[in-house]
Amino acid sequence: MLARRRVLTALPALALAACAAPTASLSSGAKGPGPAPAHGAAEAPGPTGPARPPLPALEQIEGRFAGRVPAMWGLAVPGVVTRCSVASVALTFDACGGPGGAGYDSRLIAALRKYRVPATLFLNSRWIAANPGAAAELAADPLFELADHGTAHRPLSVTGRAAYGIPGTSSVAAVYQEILSNRAHLEGLTRAPGPWYRPGTAYYDDVAADVVRAVGLVPVNFSVNGDGGATFSPAQVATEVGRARAGDIVISHMNHPGAGTARGYEAALPRLIGMGISFTTLSRAGLPWE
């Protein structure tokens, strides 16, 4: 998907509110989402929060943002969360679908399960349509929480600005549609998907990021790029993921089973756990819905 995306450093520390975070333990090699070992084990993600209030109508959003002109464009515009303030690492995985890749990296998911590592999975509607069985299985696994990766996998813009050659949404109405059309798919899989949103390519303009918040979701990006848009070798993935420390949000991809992502995580996870690094989902990191 993001062939040229590289590791980001010194991103603004837009923090999540702190809460008790789960840890992961290198333990009995459990292969499924059953009970975790009692000592140092990963907790299930738990509830994602109170029921979300009714969505504002498109007309309300268009009226609120009429005449707003973007001033910023990128991966870390104001209002986009790139770090968390808990003493854990938040692993996030995008599933893009369509031309961005509709595969399912079951080996990667197996590694997370083996080490009882929770994660937030950003699913695009096209990936869900191509993988209904896998999507339902992941939704039922308490180790994971589902989040929104959009409908057509577009950069989020109110002017049509492109990223990596992919045209962005071109109006407030198009932003609204891109964000919310996928929610029905997620809510069909789980009663309470996380309130997190990441667009295709992870690019926003500042107006579009504000629209995300105006509809009751939270725009999220990352501080560590784990797999370079599924282009890194296993050794590169292991190195970059291995840099993660408390407060980092790591982005990687779960839709390219032929990439180096799974093997890289197989190497990185036991090393990080051995260093005492713990892992959390975004919802466990405690940011309230706004």
C-alpha 181/C-alpha 142 separation (Å) is 25
Residue for token pair 């996928």: 182
Does residue 85 fall inside a structural domain?
A: yes
At 285, the pLDDT band (50, 70, 90 cuts) reads confident
CB 111 within 8 A of CB 241: no
Would you state the pLDDT for residue 51?
57
Does residue 230 fall inside a structural domain?
A: yes
Per-residue model confidence as pLDDT tens digits over 256-274: 999 999 999 999 999 999 9
Query: Range of 122's domain?
Result: 72-280
Is residue 32's pLDDT more than 60? no
8-state DSSP, 115: T
C-alpha 209/C-alpha 239 separation (Å) is 31
Per-residue model confidence as pLDDT tens digits over 66-100: 999 999 999 999 999 999 989 999 999 999 999 99
**Which pTM value belongs to this model?**
0.84
Does residue 4 fall inside a structural domain?
A: no
Would you call 91 helix, strand, or coil by DSSP? strand
Provide mean pLDDT across the span 125-134.
98
C-alpha 216/C-alpha 77 separation (Å) is 18
Would you state the pLDDT for residue 85?
86
Does residue 18 fall inside a structural domain?
A: no
Domain count along the chain: 1
Does residue 98 fall inside a structural domain?
A: yes
Would you state the pLDDT for residue 218?
96
Q: Please, what is the average pLDDT of the chain?
A: 85
Does residue 189 fall inside a structural domain?
A: yes
Q: Which two tokens stand for residue 148?
A: 């929104």
C-alpha 251/C-alpha 255 separation (Å) is 13
Does residue 67 fall inside a structural domain?
A: no
Give, in order, the Cα–Cα distances in Å from 33 to each of 107, 113, 140, 280. 15, 7, 9, 15
C-alpha 95/C-alpha 146 separation (Å) is 11
CATH of the domain at 221: 3.20.20.370
C-alpha 188/C-alpha 191 separation (Å) is 7
What are the residues whose beta carbons fall under 8 Å from the beta carbon of 63, sequence distance 6 or more?
none
DSSP string, 51-71: PPPPPPPHHHHHHHHTT----
DSSP string, 186-252: HHHH-SS--SEE--GGG-EEHHHHHHHHHTT-EEB--SEESSTTTTS-HHHHHHHHTT--TTBEEEE
C-alpha 146/C-alpha 248 separation (Å) is 19
Does residue 192 fall inside a structural domain?
A: yes
Provide mean pLDDT across the span 124-140.
98
Output the CA torsion sign for 269, 138, 122, 61. Answer: negative
